[in-house]
């Protein structure tokens, strides 16, 4: 029965690591949520900086491809 204790110990370590990872993820989610609340909503007239200047439809070619 000496071999069974090692598996039990490894299983316990694995479960502790899983629990710790879950707690870390929950803390990150809470931090992101608080950051969003603190920043507040964007004004309706402002444009999303990630998509600024993009128009619907085909986009013009970059200068390096422009002949």
pLDDT digits (tens, 9 = 90+) for 40-55: 776 777 777 788 877 7
Domain range annotation of the chain: 9-35
Tens of pLDDT, residue by residue over 1-38, are 555 677 899 999 999 999 999 999 999 999 999 998 88
**For the residues of 5-25, what is the DSSP string, one character each?**
HHHHHHHHHHHHHHHHHHHHH
Q: What is the pTM of this model?
A: 0.51
- Alpha-carbon separation of residue 41 from 20, 44, 46, 48, 57 (angstroms): 32, 9, 11, 12, 28
């Amino acid at each position: 029965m000496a071999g069974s204790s090692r598996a039990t110990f490894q299983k316990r370590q694995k479960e502790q690591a899983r629990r710790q990872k879950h707690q870390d993820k929950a803390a990150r989610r809470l931090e992101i949520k608080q950051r969003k609340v603190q920043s507040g909503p964007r004004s309706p007239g402002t444009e999303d900086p990630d998509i600024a200047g993009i128009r619907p439809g085909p986009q013009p070619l970059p200068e390096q491809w422009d002949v």
